[in-house]
Chains A and B, each alone.
Chain A
Amino acid sequence: MNQGPLVFLGTFFALATAWFGFILQPELQIGSQQPFLIEDSGQLYPTKPAGLAKQGEDVYRANGCFYCHTMQVRPQGLGGDVARNWGARSGPVQSVSRDYLYAEPAMLGSQRVGPDLTNIGLRQTNEVWLLQHLYNPQSLAAGSTMPPYRYLFAKRKTTPGQAPSKDALPPDNNLPGYEIVPTDDAKALVAYLLSLRSDGILYEAPTLYVKPATAPAATTTNASPAANSPAK
């Protein structure tokens, strides 16, 4: 008996099953998700990254930041993600598919050599700190294994008495006579990092509890108690 056709058809069937199950079906379910309208603020979540942050996404991709940093907060009870305060969304809430709607590409990452960056824009809002950390991580986190990204910075000779460039890093005592100026790539990358914040309240990732004393009661009088849940 010639079994060639049997092997061919079997292979075709298996591939088709895996394709329909894991490509087509998920695409039908979540492929056309839309941003969510937060009613009391009238804002959409997630927002499309724009301008410098969009360029920074390319820098993040080109330099393979995602090989060491994930962008996914696992649910409470699964690992220490929430306890490490990597979550956001005014409560201990995990990442959901809608968070990545505008990620191009989606760089969830597979390893945490460094910390998760889903909400780095909420944890660290200081641009200079982020630039300094990119230039010399060990100067801010002793013992860090992160490589310095000096190639994203220009080292310029300064003449005594000359005013430092507007965007130069704080002077480094180890490098007298020089100033360190971030390149466009470094600035874009930091803009991207600052834009990373999944603080939109979503139906599929509701706030589990309201943190006490986050806001004085008076300011919420206009909002109904259910304002944070999506009223469709």
Chain B
Amino acid sequence: MSATISQSQPAGTAPDANPAVSPAETDLSARVLLLLFLSAALWLVGGSVLGLISSLNFHKPTLFADCAAFSYGRSHPAAINALLYGFAAPAGLGVLLWLAAHLGQAKLTGIPLVILGWLLWNVGVTLGVVGIFLGDNTGHEWLEFPRYASAFLFAGYLPIGLAGLLTFKNRQPGPLQMAQWFILAAFFWFPWIFTTASLLLVIWPVRGVMQSVVGWWYMNNFGNVWLVLMGLAVGFAFAPKFAKAPLYSRDMGLFTFWSLILFGSWAGIPAAAPVPSWIPAVSTLGAFLMVAAILATFLNLTKTLRQADRHAVRTIPELFIPFGVLAFTVASLMAVVSQPIAVSVVTNFTWFIPAQQEMLVYGFFTMTMIGAIYYIVPRLAPVAGTDLLLGKASFLLCAIGVLFYVVPLAVGGIIQGSSMNDATVPFLNVVKGSLMAIRGSTLGELLMILGNAIFLLNLILMLFRFFKTSTTVFLAGANKTVGVGA
């Protein structure tokens, strides 16, 4: 990654300049991230199993009739929140911390902060999921965790975000690489939106439909901006790595960055929302201003990846991350297309919405992060090695699974919306008409659970081999001891 950083830069240009650190030293300092990755993988498997439990309600409505916790209205939000807060946030932050250290040729700074944040965060997620099961759901989508859980999340984010900023600050001087723009913005994005939404929805709720406005704003800024910032940071950092060539166009990368934070942050308010009509109108405008940036991102990253040696054997991350790039394009375009009223009138309130969300959260973000984790873990735990066969199996299962989930629900959603809008079709027929799509999506869920479980297994095997062969202390003391394989 040193290609774009001028090596001739004198060490004394900035008053606080640190000596450049070798990648191996960075990895040694970043072993604490294994904690984040392991807990994230556990939540990923747990969350997807909960998702399956919630879906079973559609196959046999009477299945959990006597069990409040597993009823759809509780198990479904528990699954979504386990995925978003248990897996997505810690996995993304862990990868971002690693990237911030590597791209800046610095050590990971603030290891105790990371451990503290990781602990608090996971206490928060556990409390939140249990709270949803017990009926303490706040009633706001993607922010269902009750306030006692949100407080832990907030307290847990602060030290992790601080470690990120400290690590970023210790970077080598010089122009930022494209991924570093996304990393820095991501570290600021989450605390702002999470604080705003928690204060205005849970602590001192605004009145009436304003809650929905804040909720839509939060969902969009969480999914379509924050997750995208983190996922594209990985894309922009790894595409040149895989291709062993520079990024195709830095200008296009900058265009993506500015469009995403300036206009992407407006999108997400449904076109027919019962609010003053300028709000969805501006939201639609923001979504359409993103189209060029979405296409530019796709072009930029695929052109970069195409420079790679076509005959070289693809590693596991080289399967996951390009899939993520493709899924990002599809998911973002699905969001843009369904925003204007002419399409929204059909897609809104249908299975198209969860299909789009799954494409974004799983197809793009989760696949990208699994790829990055497959890349990073063998470097943090050098003797571990990845099991290639397991890696490929997890990729195939996850990739096919997400397609089996998204395609039937997207198509089924459009059919559902069209027949719902035809008042001559009895509503019960509309409901029955979407059962086929739901069955297809459950098959996809099963495949994804298998893929997630194999990913977790692979991760555990790697760590097991690492611990077995290494007597080195791997947590906080790691940077003081002599590392293995350095």
Chain A residues proximal to chain B, CB less than 8 Å: 1-4, 7-8, 10-12, 14-15, 17-19, 21-23, 26-27, 29-33, 61-68, 70, 72, 74-75, 78-80, 83-84, 94-115, 137-138, 141, 143-151
User: In the complex, which residues of chain A have a beta carbon less than 8 angstroms from the beta carbon of B65?
Assistant: 147-151
User: In the complex, which residues of chain A have a beta carbon less than 8 angstroms from the beta carbon of B420?
Assistant: 79-80, 112
Partner-contacting stretch, out of B198-206, B375-383, B473-481:
B198-206
User: In the complex, which residues of chain B have a beta carbon less than 8 angstroms from the beta carbon of A27?
Assistant: 206, 210
Which residue among A12, A18, A84, A115 has the maximum number of chain B CB atoms within 10 Å of its CB?
Answer: A18
User: In the complex, which residues of chain B have a beta carbon less than 8 angstroms from the beta carbon of A113?
Assistant: 431, 434
Q: Out of A72, A109, A110, A144, name the residue touching B431 (CB < 8 Å).
A: A144
User: In the complex, which residues of chain A have a beta carbon less than 8 angstroms from the beta carbon of B181?
Assistant: 3, 7
Q: List 18 A-B contacts (CB under 8 A).
A: A3-B175, A8-B184, A18-B265, A61-B138, A64-B71, A78-B341, A80-B420, A95-B274, A100-B209, A105-B138, A105-B201, A106-B208, A138-B61, A147-B65, A147-B71, A148-B65, A150-B66, A151-B67
Does B196 interact with chain A (Cβ within 8 Å)?
Answer: yes
Residue contact A75 to B61, C-beta cutoff 8 Å: no
A-B pairs with beta carbons under 8 A, tally: 219
Query: What separation, in Å, do the CA atoms of A110 and B435 have in the docked complex?
Result: 18
Residue contact A63 to B189, C-beta cutoff 8 Å: no
Residue contact A94 to B274, C-beta cutoff 8 Å: yes
Which residue among B66, B72, B73, B135 has the maximum number of chain A CB atoms within 10 Å of its CB?
Answer: B73
Residue contact A64 to B61, C-beta cutoff 8 Å: no
Residue contact A22 to B262, C-beta cutoff 8 Å: no
Q: Number of B interface residues at 8 Å Cβ cutoff, please give it.
A: 87
Residue contact B58 to A145, C-beta cutoff 8 Å: yes
Query: What separation, in Å, do the CA atoms of A8 and B273 have in the docked complex?
Result: 33
- Helix, strand, loop or mixed for chain B's interface? helix
Q: Out of B72, B272, B353, B417, name the residue touching A75 (CB < 8 Å).
A: B272
Chain B residues proximal to chain A, CB less than 8 Å: 14, 57-58, 61-68, 71-74, 76-77, 135-141, 168-169, 173, 175-176, 180-181, 184-185, 188-189, 192-193, 196, 200-201, 205-214, 217, 221, 258, 261-262, 265-266, 269-270, 272-276, 279, 282-283, 341, 345-346, 348-351, 353-354, 417, 420-423, 427-428, 431-432, 434-435
The 7 closest A-B pairs by CB, nearest first: A64-B73, A62-B135, A83-B423, A14-B261, A18-B265, A105-B139, A80-B423
Q: How far in angstroms is the closest Cβ of chain A from B283?
A: 8
- Which residue of chain A has its CB nearest to the CB of B270? A110
